[in-house]
Structures are given as structure tokens and as C-alpha cells.
Structure 1
């Protein structure tokens, strides 16, 4: 399917953050952005996601200046206090991982068929961890964070835009962002048929690559090989020029 849209207990595989100085595009002031209504803030974030080399500098500035205190952005703020397994995510909390993934996505967004969808999927891909993260038998787990995240992404974006196609494309990428892991490890949680029907496989693979590259200690060539294997296992004629 060419239009780019984006259960059961699952094991997560997961993923950081430079605290940069911020420049506020509209007025050059700091970006507490409390004066911006949510839809205005959505447009401003979109601008940074689609043009900045390191969008995490801007979004980290929003977080530090209470710009994410207002709903629905508070759903992202929750990720700052959501822990991750130090084994899979030495970079720390979920927000740290998301910031690293967003910056990685910015480096390859020129390869995306729809950079706006792709970059918002990168920002929201682990939004489900805020609701699903638990400690069980001494391990931090986030079972079903991808499917829960799809619904949260829909709720989040519905507050900010009336573009239903955009919302569906982003949310489906969130839903399937774990599939490179599921498929390569032959885990029972994968739904390759559904993924092919509901997402553009090029975009799913590109997001999966950024997700894996967004963790500390990742190995570029190894992750490129993993994504190539994923596409081959899915039987699709797609090549990423990474």
C-alpha cells in the first residue's frame, strides 16, 4: 500500500539527548511557548522537525521551559520520568531515547516520501511507554507500547490537526515501529501482512533504522544490515540508500 499511514505481551527493544541552547523561530525569545495555543505550537514544532539539523535542541528547550505542560504535549513530558532498561537503553529515560531518534531521523528525512509524517512518527514512536512501562521481577518492561502508542498518537494529534490522513499515517508508523525487531527475531508479535497493508514499507524501515540508531553504543553498519534483513524477510522490493 503506497499511502503512508502509519498486541499480546511483547519485549521492547529500545533507545537519547543533547541539551542545547534554543532559538525561537517566531520572535528570537526563549521557547517556554506557554503563550502559544497547542495548534500554534504544533506548527512551530513541525517547522523545527522538518528543517533543523538537530531538532532535539528545540524540543528539549520546550521541555525545560514548561512548554510541554499543556495537554496534549504533557503526554510527551511524561516520557522524561519514564525509565528504560539500562541493558537496552544506556542513554536513560524514554525522553532521552526519543530525542536521539528525532536527531537521527533529521539526518535521513530527505530520504522520506513524507518528511512531516516521518518526523512526527519519530517524535511519537515511544509515546506508549508512558502508559505501559512497569517493573516486573526486577526488569523494566513496556509490553504493547507500540499498539498502545498508536492510539495515544491518534489522541495526541487529533487535538492539534484536522488532517485525518496525516494522523493515520503517523499512528500506523508508531504501531509498526517495532516490527524490524519482531521480524528479524521471528517473534510471534509481528503482523507483516497488516504492516504491508497499513504502511509504506520504505517509511517503516527508515523509522526502524532511526529507532535502532537512537541508542547509545549502536553500530551503524550492523543496523544497516539489520534493516536490509528486515526488508528481505518481508519479501518487499525496497532499498534504503542509507
Structure 2
């Protein structure tokens, strides 16, 4: 095992002990435990962060990504009989990473989202490079997160490990940073430019962009962004659907109260529907679809509230609202799981949903904000 100078990490002591106890495949991580790997990544961050043109905010995002990127490994690491495996640790780390980031008041909701994106996708430069994924995959991903920051973090992460194929690994990261990211930027623009483009896009163009992403149609996505097709300026949504998620019952009630004229539908009874049981799923969604259809026809804004819902339900709502020619607006209320538990609102189903969280695409709704 490689000896690494120990230091304090801004993590709960119990979590640090879990990271110490979580072993890794020595073929890829001869440095030892997840804790030791995290120390090495942080060391690489401090050694090389000045080599890149980064704003203070970007430096902080990368710092927290270094701390949090592998905290999902204690949840999923298993001995297969021949080696240690941590399959799915990127997504498994999101709930705890989110809760820890909510305790950092200097970070905005959008900055927390960017750190979580780095945690969720930090293996992409290596994994897709090994599998020689086509550029179309990266074009689609570029609308979701900042590929430039992803590549820089991948360099810190992969430099902070001891493995037999380190030269090949770092070559793949250099290729990502020096070839893939510039190609994507040339064709679509930077991440900041893409988010500004979407924010200013007319209603129908946002719908077309969302369809291109959901269908994984990169050529259409590029055409829509580069050519900016002209949609009728008279085209307006028939109604607005405000989807409010992630808070306590009190927070959700207060937020819905800011729209006193908007009828409210609670999604909590639908949260635990099994979307794989098609009959039960469709039957359970009938009241919601009827509610949306009635107020879409009347042209009246509505509010949907839920403490936490599965991604399948959220995407179904987005699809149905767009079918009804409505505008969908997400409001994320930043309540950590501990708050829900303390207020006796965390049912076993809700805890399970929280632990399975994934990040919605930032263009899934017509507008998104965090509170």
C-alpha cells in the first residue's frame, strides 16, 4: 500500500471511517482505500489547479468534486469472489453529496447542481474513451454539464490513483481535454453559452430541443442550436405547470401559496407507484392527467407538489405537459433527508426514492430554479 500523508477532510467522522474501510480493486487503485484515493485526488487538485484558467467559483466546484466524487463507494462496494467492485458508485453518491453540499451556505443551488454533475459523470472521459464513443454522445452530454470542468476533474481523479495502466488512462484524459472538448465547443458553444441559449429560447424551440435530447438525436440537436429555427412569435404555452419538489410539507405549502390562484395537486400519493407495472402505473396516473387536461383547456396555471418523486414520474409529467402545449417550471426546495426525517415526513418509500435519486437534465423543464 502507498503511504499517503493523512489530513482532515470536511466530512462527518463516521463517513471518513467508512471511506477508510472501503477497499478497492488494486489493479486500478493500488493506493488502497477510498479514503486514501480521495486524499491523493485532493493532493493533485492542489498541485495542478493553478495550471488551468479557472475562476474562484470553478475552483470551489472542483474542490468539492475531489472531496465527494467517490462517497458512493461505501454503499455499493462488494466482493465478487475474485475482486472488489463498486459498480454504480457515481449515482449512489448523489444523495449524500447533495446533503453535504446543502450544508455549505457559500454554494448556490446551481453550484451544488454542478458539483453533483461532476460526481455523477466523473468516469465519462475514461469510460467513453476506452469504448471509443462517437462525438454525438459528447454533444448530447454537453447540454447537461460543463465538459471542460469534467475533463479537468478527470485529470485530478486519474492522476490521484496508482494503477498499472496509468499512462494509457492519462492519455485518454488528454485526448478528451485537448480534442473532444474543443470539438464540442466549436460545434455547440461553451456550457455557459448553451445554458444562456436555452434560457432565451422561445417556447417551441425549447420543446424541440427537449425532444432531440430525449431521442438522443445529436444531429437534430446541433441543427436546432446552430441554425436557431424561427418559430412563430405568437406561439405561447396554453398554461403553466409549476412542479415543486424536494421540500418538507410546510415548505411546499408555503411555496404553492405564492401562487394563490393556481389549483394544487399533491404527487405524494403517486410517488411509490411501480412504473414497471404498466397497468397500475397508467391507472394511478389518471387523476393527475385529468387534472392537467382540465386546467390546460381552461388556460389556468397549476401547481404540482411532492416531497420526492421517482425520475419516471417526473419525466412522465414533463412529457404530458408538453403534449398539452404547456410550460413546465421546476422549483427545487433544498431540504436534506435529515430534515425530512426530523420532521417525521420521511416514510420508508420516500427514503428509498431519495437514495435512488438521479439528476434531471437541465432542459427537461422550460425553466428551473432552486431555493
TM-score category of the 2 structures, normalised to the smaller one: 0.5 to 0.7
| Distance change >3 Å, CA 158–CA 187, structure 1 → 2 | farther
Q: Which residue of 1 aligns with 2:306?
A: none
Deviation at 1:200, TM superposition (A): 1.4
Q: Which residue of 2 aligns with 1:170?
A: 115
- Checking the alignment, whether the CA contact within 8 Å between 2:129 and 2:172 is kept in structure 1 is yes
Higher Cα radius of gyration: 2
Query: Is 1:117 the counterpart of 2:61 in the alignment?
Result: yes
Equivalent of 2:23 in 77, 80, 83: 83
Distance 1:17 1:202 in 2: 31
Equivalent of 2:70 in 123, 126, 132: 126
| Distance change >3 Å, CA 96–CA 186, structure 1 → 2 | same
Equivalent of 2:143 in 177, 183, 197: 197
| Distance change >3 Å, CA 68–CA 151, structure 1 → 2 | closer
Q: Which residue of 2 aligns with 1:150?
A: 94
Distance 1:206 1:184 in 2: 15
Query: Is 1:211 the counterpart of 2:197 in the alignment?
Result: no
Which deviations, in whole Å up to 9, do the C-alpha atoms of 1:157-179 show, x marking residues without a partner?
12343621221111111111100
Distance 1:91 1:217 in 2: 8
Query: Is 1:106 the counterpart of 2:46 in the alignment?
Result: yes
Q: Which residue of 2 aligns with 1:184?
A: 129
Higher strand proportion: 2
Unaligned runs of 5+ in 1: 1-15, 21-56
Deviation at 1:181, TM superposition (A): 1.6
TM-score, length of structure 1 as denominator length: 0.63
Unaligned runs of 5+ in 2: 187-371
Deviation at 1:124, TM superposition (A): 0.6
Deviates most, 152-161 or 122-131: 152-161
| Distance change >3 Å, CA 187–CA 143, structure 1 → 2 | farther
Distance 1:134 1:215 in 2: 20
- Checking the alignment, whether the CA contact within 8 Å between 1:183 and 1:233 is kept in structure 2 is no
Structure possessing the higher relative contact order (Cα contacts under 8 Å, 6 or more residues apart)? 1
Deviation at 1:224, TM superposition (A): 4.4
- Checking the alignment, whether the CA contact within 8 Å between 1:76 and 1:127 is kept in structure 2 is no
Deviates most, 100-109 or 178-187: 178-187
- Checking the alignment, whether the CA contact within 8 Å between 2:126 and 2:169 is kept in structure 1 is no
Which deviations, in whole Å up to 9, do the C-alpha atoms of 1:163-214 show, x marking residues without a partner?
21221111111111100121111188x9635531222111100111111111
Distance 2:137 2:76 in 1: 20
1:143 alignment partner, SS class = coil
Equivalent of 1:236 in 160, 175, 184: 184
RMSD across aligned positions (CA): 2.9
